[in-house]
Structure 1
Amino acid sequence: MRNLVTGAAVCAVIATVAAAEVVAPTEVVFEDGAVATSLTGTAGDIENGATLMNKGAGNCIACHQVSALSNLPFHGEVGPTLDGVADRWSEAELRGIVANAKMMFDGTMMPSFYKTEGFIRLGDAYTGNAHEGEVAPLLTAQEVEDVVAYLMTLKEE
């Protein structure tokens, strides 16, 4: 009996890992700009999402103000404030906006954080040359989920 229970537990873990397959940037399904399904099948890490708001490829506060992150300097005013964003948009809509805002807002300046093709002229950092080879997304699928998890905490008070 013990082996049967242990075997069932192992199968459950394997099934969970298999179900948590990452959706490739080229396979993301947008419906009116929203992405209903998680890109990883794994819940987002709110703490890492908050870190990505200020650092690395995310750096959302370079363009957006976030009162909850007022301890951090240099909030931008290019994009709308993110205060209360979870009351304005659903989780699926936020996932779509973070993955590729251009699918919801035609002509937006917001970068496509989970896109790897279809660029007009992708540069090679600050060299002045065109990028060569495959393009990696600015954020991984899990980082998109982490940012969305953090954004879902930003409700009106």
Structure 2
Amino acid sequence: MPCAAAAQTLQNFVVIGDGIATSLTGTPGDAARGRALVVERSSTCILCHNGPFPEQRFEGDLAPNLAGTGSRWSAGQLRLRLVDASRLNASTIMPSYYRVDGLDRVGAAWRGKPILSAEQIEDIVAYLVTLRE
């Protein structure tokens, strides 16, 4: 699923404090599509995170549990974490899903391309804000 980002041009965004308040697409994402992306192994979310995904047998435990994410962070804060978590923590292991510059270890197939499209980022944000424990 993440391959859709390969043909996309990066949208401009403004980071204010610890978030990106404005949607990358100008419209809200779709929470159902966002959930599908989160539980899809190729998106890499559940390789590191676990959460309220009873259909998944194997989930990661390297990163915070996604249950309650919508209670802990705003949509803007979640958006920045997906776009470029390294802006909040320079030593994070979380990939920059919507950044292409200044990256050192990028596979040839992904050079110059975001991992996720703006639409996919917005869909995941729409889903994560619904997780209120």
Root-mean-square deviation (CA, aligned residues, Å) is 2.0
1:61 is matched with 46
- Stretches of 4+ moved more than 4 A in 1? none
Give yes or no for contact 1:30–1:103 (8 Å, CA) kept in 2. Answer: no
Query: Alpha-carbon deviations, 1:87-142, whole Å to 9, x = none?
Result: 111110001101111111221000000011111242326xxxxx7xx511000001
- The number of residue pairs the alignment matches comes to 126
5+ residue gaps, structure 1, are 1-21, 126-130
Question: Is 1:51 the equivalent of 2:28?
Answer: no
1:155 is matched with 132
Q: CA deviation at 1:56?
A: 5.9
1:90 partner amino acid: S
In the aligned structure 2, how far is the partner of 1:115 from the partner of 1:108? 14
Q: How does 1:117-136 map to 2 (within 5 A)?
A: 117-124=101-108, 135-136=112-113
**TM-score of the superposition, structure 1-length normalised?**
0.73
Q: CA deviation at 1:57?
A: 4.7
**TM-score of the superposition, structure 2-length normalised?**
0.85
In the aligned structure 2, how far is the partner of 1:93 from the partner of 1:138? 19
Query: Alpha-carbon deviations, 1:39-76, whole Å to 9, x = none?
Result: 00121111110111022652311111112x12112110
1:144 is matched with 121
In the aligned structure 1, how far is the partner of 2:54 from the partner of 2:41? 18
Larger RCO, structure (CA 8 Å, separation 6 or more): 2
1:90 is matched with 74
Larger radius of gyration: 1
1:34 partner amino acid: G
5+ residue gaps, structure 2, are 1-7
1:36 is matched with 21
Aligned CA distance change for structure 1 residues 87 and 113 (closer, same or farther; 3 Å): same
Task: Give the percent of matched residue pairs that are identical in Structure 1 and Structure 2.
Answer: 38
2:90 is matched with 106
In the aligned structure 2, how far is the partner of 1:56 from the partner of 1:78? 15
